[in-house]
Amino acid sequence: MTQDEQPAVGRPDRPRLTKDRILDEAVRLVERDGPRALSMRKLGERLGVTGMSLYRHISNREALMDALVDRIVDAMLERPDVRPRDDDDWRGFLTRLAHGVRQIALEQPSLFPLVATHPPSAPWLRPPLRSLRWVEAFLAGLLNRGFGDEGAVAAYRAFSSFLLGHLLLEVSARGVTTGPVDEPAPAAQAPSEVRATLDGHPALERLQPQLAEDHAESEFQASLTSLLDRLEHFNAIPQERAT
């Protein structure tokens, strides 16, 4: 389908510009150089073409960003980490999903902030599971495992907030840039500089070493468990008694 690239007329050198090729290259560019590096001109150049040529295939930079985020999000669906197993109960389903998304986020530290902060096309599409296909998979996964309608919808909202709050902080703390398109690296402020301004803050000064410790993984797990316990109440209503 998207396989054989036959040179349109008689141009055997480069494989012909296509929305797919543009987006693939855009993903690579952001992965390599961060979101700030993604300009129409630079993207064109990497495709062996001038920036203006892109406008034949994509209406403007904004549409490019939208399509780029969609592509990243839908690519997450194909990852085995997040694919539910038939013998997962609903807790297993959500646990696998949570850790899978976290894994992906940590592997793609410059893509995830984009997914997390780029404005969705509808207000009820909540990052990071922000595509129609994702919402469908999420809802169906819970409905098939005993959840009622309201429970599944409430779970989608709570789960989104949970993922966003934890992963956006963890990924950006790990370095790289958080700002979707602008903003540079955190610049790893010189420790002495922080020390200097720590003076009038006794609690902070005493606890700074503990604050700097990284317990992201275990905190993620603890918070997830707590969330699942809470969702149990939503699930209790429709599911008279299982089996």
Site for a copy of itself, residues 189 to 228, rule: CB under 8 A: 189, 194, 197-198, 200-204, 206-208, 210-212, 215, 219, 222-223, 226-227
Identify how many contiguous H helices and E strands the chain contains and give both numbers: 10, 0
Of the candidates 18, 16, 13, 42, the one whose C-alpha atom is nearest the C-alpha of residue 29 is: 42
Cα(43)–Cα(41) distance, integer angstroms:
5
Half-sphere exposure of 242 (CA within 13 A, CB side): 8
Q: Which is nearer to DNA, 1 or 211 (CB)?
A: 1
Distance of closest approach, residue 67 Cβ to DNA, in angstroms: 13
Site for a copy of itself, residues 6 to 65, rule: CB under 8 A: 62, 65
Q: Are 168 and 178 in contact (CB under 8 A)?
A: yes
Q: Which stretch binds a copy of itself (CB under 8 A): 42-50, 89-97, 99-107, 142-150?
A: 142-150
Based on the shown chain and the rule CB under 8 A, indicate whether residue 67 belongs to the binding site for a copy of itself: no
Q: Which is nearer to DNA, 42 or 83 (CB)?
A: 42
Q: Which is nearer to DNA, 8 or 242 (CB)?
A: 8
Based on the shown chain and the rule CB under 8 A, indicate whether residue 77 belongs to the binding site for a copy of itself: no
Cα(75)–Cα(71) distance, integer angstroms:
6
Q: Which does 108 bind (CB under 5 to 8 A by kind): a copy of itself, DNA, none?
A: none
Cα(90)–Cα(154) distance, integer angstroms:
14
Q: Which does 243 bind (CB under 5 to 8 A by kind): a copy of itself, DNA, none?
A: none
Q: Which is nearer to a copy of itself, 21 or 199 (CB)?
A: 199
Neighbours of 166 (CB within 10 A): 19
Q: Which is nearer to DNA, 50 or 161 (CB)?
A: 50
